[in-house]
Chains A and B, each alone.
Chain A
Amino acid sequence: AQSVTQLDSHVSVSEGTPVLLRCNYSSSYSPSLFWYVQHPNKGLQLLLKYTSAATLVKGINGFEAEFKKSETSFHLTKPSAHMSDAAEYFCVVSGRNNNDMRFGAGTRLTVKP
């Protein structure tokens, strides 16, 4: 069984400050982990993925995430927030099949000027 918990439903940061979106997972397998972003009235866009290669994964738009097996975490970070980063972010854990995929509840990121 797999599950994912996004620890914050809403995060608010000021433009230019760091972003941290937290995700913990549980998996019976060696998991694949993803972060997706969803802007209003849009579909989900893949930011980055971890598939048992390097534990520090770099994605698009300056985002990165670190896989920590001992902490079962896959937190998403960005050094400096931009107004365009305001969106909903989803952490996803997957197993062998698509019906094993579990989406987190989402974290809404607000970026203040």
Chain B
Amino acid sequence: KAGVTQTPRYLIKTRGQQVTLSCSPISGHRSVSWYQQTPGQGLQFLFEYFSETQRNKGNFPGRFSGRQFSNSRSEMNVSTLELGDSALYLCASSPWTGDYEQYFGPGTRLTVT
């Protein structure tokens, strides 16, 4: 089976812009979770989508949003980018919600200048 894929792998944006990141889960997986990884804060949970519905949400401002499509692919959007949004954004999929064994993609490295 192909693994979790994320596009793009690298992205440079300017403060104030918005960005959309994409994640394709492992075939058959219905849950997609997003994480932000920074040197200062480590790995933090953003949100989880299952069956096109947001199931869980971490402690991030409303500028961070996401959605999931009927084929389980997910997108994450960050509006009004701030310098502090520079991070590695990781997507993880699992067969079902609450199934904690997650399979991670390689991540999207976002740099905000």
Q: How far is B44's CA from A107's CA once the two chains are assembled, in angstroms?
A: 16
Interface of A is mostly: mixed
Enumerate A20-64 residues with CB–CB distance to B below 8 Å.
Answer: 32, 34, 36, 41-46, 49, 51
Q: Using a Cβ–Cβ cut-off of 8 Å, how many residues does chain A contribute to the interface with B?
A: 22
Contact A97 B56 (CB under 8 A): yes
Find chain B residues with CB under 8 A from A45 CB.
104
Q: Note all chain B residues with C-beta closer than 8 A to A98.
A: 31, 33, 45, 48, 55-56, 97-98, 100, 102
What is B's interface to A at a CB cutoff of 8 Å?
4, 6, 31, 33, 42-45, 48, 55-58, 90, 92, 97-98, 100-107
A residues near B (Cβ < 8 Å) are 32, 34, 36, 41-46, 49, 51, 90, 94, 96-99, 101, 103-106
